Amino acid sequence: MKTWKEVNPGAVILEPGSARKFKTGSWRAMRPKWIEENCIHCLLCWVYCPDMSVKVKDGKREQFDYDFCKGCGLCALECPGKKGQKAIVMEQEGN
């Protein structure tokens, strides 16, 4: 830990992207669950995620990155699913 003599004046953070080092997933009470068979890969979840918890590879979505997901549920709310079946549902964390 830094001493008072070592901290940056005004608490400015000079390292871009340093939020990656601070994993905020532990704040989560609700956990989004991805149901692959209902997913049409529209990527609305990726668009709406306020963090970067929806991983995408070659235009297809992949599993959640739970290190940063705070369980806000926006992805589940926006998910159009397939034929009325949601591809993302929220579950109680720890169940």
Partner 1 sequence: MSKKVGITGNEAIAQAMRIANPDVCGAYPITPATDIMQRFTSFVANCEVKTEMILTESEHSAMSACIGSSVAGGRVATASAAQGIALMWEMLFIASGLRLPIVMGVANRALSAPLNIHGDHSDGMGMRDCGWIHFYSENAQEGFDNMLMAFRIAEHMDIRLPVMVGLDGFITSHSIETMEYVDDETGRAFVGEFKAVNPLLDIKNPKSYGPLILTDMYMEYRKAHDNVMAKVPGVVLEVAAEFEKISGRKYGLFESYRLDDAEIALVVMSSAAGTTKDVIDTYRAKGVKVGLLKPRLYRPFPYEQMGEALKHCKAVAVLDRADCFGGSYGPLFADVSNALYHYAQRPIMINKIYGLGGRDYMPDQAEYTINELIQIAKDGKVKSIKEYIGVRE
Residues that bind partner 1 (CB under 8 A): 1-5, 7-14, 16-18
| Minimum gap (Å) between residue 50 Cβ and partner 1 | 16
- Whether 12 and 30 have beta carbons less than 8 Å apart is answered as no
**Which residue, 12 or 92, is less far from partner 1 as judged by CB?**
12
| Minimum gap (Å) between residue 64 Cβ and partner 1 | 24
| Minimum gap (Å) between residue 54 Cβ and partner 1 | 23
Closest Cα partner for 42 from 7, 88, 73?
88
Closest Cα partner for 75 from 56, 94, 95, 58?
56
